Amino acid sequence: MTDTQQHAPTTPTGPATNVGLPQERRLVTAIPGPASLERLERKKAYVADGVGTTLPVFVVAAGGGVLVDVDGNSLIDLGSGIAVTTVGNAAPAVVRNVTEQVQAFTHTCFMVTPYDGYVDVAQALAELTPGSHAKKSALFNSGAEAVENAVKIARVATGKDAVAVFDHAYHGRTNLTMAMTAKNMPYKHGFGPFAGEVYRAPMSYPFRDGLSGPEAAARAIDVIEKQVGATNLACVVIEPVQGEGGFVVPAPGFLPALSQWCTDNDVVLIADEIQSGFCRTGDWFASDHEGVVPDLVTTAKGIAGGLPLAAVTGRAELMDSVHGGGLGGTYGGNPLACAAALGAIEEMREHDLVGRARDLGALMTERLTALAAEHPVVADVRGRGAMMAIKLCEPGTTTPDAARTAAVAAHCHRNGVVVLTCGTWGNVFRFLPPLSIPDALLHEAFDVVAEAFAATAPDAEPVTPVAP
């Protein structure tokens, strides 16, 4: 189905979009165009090769649901800069707050002389994260830094060392978080030795294990008890919906059972909501879906509409177990990033982006289910809210089809739709549109995705590119 008129409209509008950028897919050159290709040469000359680029179009403006490149192409954004621009790129309240802040002051270092923005963000986090208990926060720059600090806090609070993480987990690229991340290539390969006392348990993965949530939790807990021991374990760190690992949604009951076990065993439950948090899954946090109240929550990405900010938020008594001066960093909770976060949270509250994520989730589920019905290579449709994915396997098997995934992605890119892949086997498409994307544009993007599947099918006729 490619006619967008046939789809029932969901919420007609999201938040206001950046500087009136036309909300359209517009291709005026090949993708990437000549001006981008020229810049790509400069990137190759001056930027380390280890820093990769999914789609080398050089961006000059973005907002709503589009990225505009230096050649004048307007591409539909289904990635939000990896789940960051949830409120839309250059969202009005973010721009307003940052503009005011940059004119007032840019930095003092909160550890030297404080300012309101930091405390305001900590208060908002206390209000928004799961649970009604007293909470406190510490602010950092990146997701990995937040995860590292959550582990530090759990270790001090419990007096224990060990950290349990899961298969397919992604927690970052610093030394401790590399140890916590599952996938070797590209994240860990050659970068060891890694931090010690990190143990991996089996994740609930309904597509592959067929276990119920409680069964999968019992399996994970058994591994943890036998291989680590609760008396040695400081924390269990888990993404309530896994991100880089392939948008794996654990079976219902898995997270509550794990949470109960942590409570019973003096183990700190850390929910890594860096990708799944801040409205993305159709709740403020993915943990909310099953009423799970983690002891600590790590956030980043969507929290600040594109500026670098991250946080650890959790039970006041846990957070306060760390000695004075034990947590911090030069830029953590930088005033511009805090102003951006307050603007992003304002957008989320005022435009009911929790509801918007659910509507977009319904729209995407409809489109992806139709795609799966037509193309047997689509083995699974999964995710929640505006965090949806499809998994590509050789038809009728669970054998990953990374080659087809790459071919479909390339077709989408050539035709002006920014799609991202992920997954341990590189065979998962993840769809993370900004919540400011208009419905019609999202439908158009999925029309292109559908064309990409048709064009790359084993029996496909060679096709001419989609008309701009």
Give, as ranges, the residues between 199 and 238 that touch ligand PLZ (CB under 6 A). none
- Minimum CB distance to ligand PLZ smaller for 307 or for 441: 307
- What are the start-end ranges of the H helices in 130-212? 143-158, 175-180, 206-209
Least CB distance from residue 69 to ligand PLZ, whole Å? Answer: 21
For residue 142, state whether it binds ligand PLZ (rule: CB under 6 A): yes
Tell me how far the alpha carbon of residue 88 is from its chain's centroid. Answer: 14
Q: Which of residues 254-283 bind ligand PLZ (CB under 6 A)?
A: 272, 274-275
147 binds ligand PLZ (CB under 6 A): yes
Write the CB contacts of 51 (distance below 8 Å, at least 6 apart in sequence): none
Tokens encoding 445:
């993007």
Residue 172 touching ligand PLZ (CB under 6 A):
yes
Contact between 148 and ligand PLZ (CB under 6 A)? Answer: no
**For residue 304, what is the DSSP state?**
G
Pick the piece of the chain touching ligand PLZ (CB under 6 A) from 136-144, 223-231, 361-369, 428-436: 136-144
Decide if 228 contacts 162 (C-beta within 8 A).
yes
By CB under 6 A, tell whether 302 contacts ligand PLZ.
no
Q: Judged by CB under 6 A, which of 71, 77, 148, 239 binds ligand PLZ? A: 239
The residue (of 243 and 246) whose beta carbon lies closer to ligand PLZ is: 243
Does 294 help bind ligand PLZ (rule: CB under 6 A)?
no
Does position 346 interact with ligand PLZ (CB under 6 A)? The reply is no
Burial of residue 14 (CB within 10 Å: 0-12, 13-18, 19+) is buried
The mark string for 73-112 relative to ligand PLZ (x by CB under 6 A, - otherwise) is ---------x------------------------------
Q: Which amino acid is at 359?
A: D
Residue whose CB is less far from ligand PLZ, 274 or 466: 274
* Residue whose CB is less far from ligand PLZ, 25 or 168: 168
Q: Residue 237, SS3?
A: strand
Q: Which residues contact 208 (CB under 8 A, 6 or more apart)?
A: 398
Q: Which of 77, 148, 244, 444 binds ligand PLZ (CB under 6 A)?
A: 244
Give the C-alpha distances (Å, rounded to integers) separating 437 from 151, 375, 382, 397: 36, 26, 21, 35
Q: Which CB sits closer to ligand PLZ, 298 or 456?
A: 298
Place of tokens 């989320």: 348
Does 243 interact with ligand PLZ (rule: CB under 6 A)? yes
Rg (CA), the chain: 22
> Is 170 among the residues that bind ligand PLZ (CB under 6 A)?
yes
The amino acid that residue 156 corresponds to is: V
Q: Which among 395, 371, 384 has a CA at the least distance from the CA of 431?
A: 384
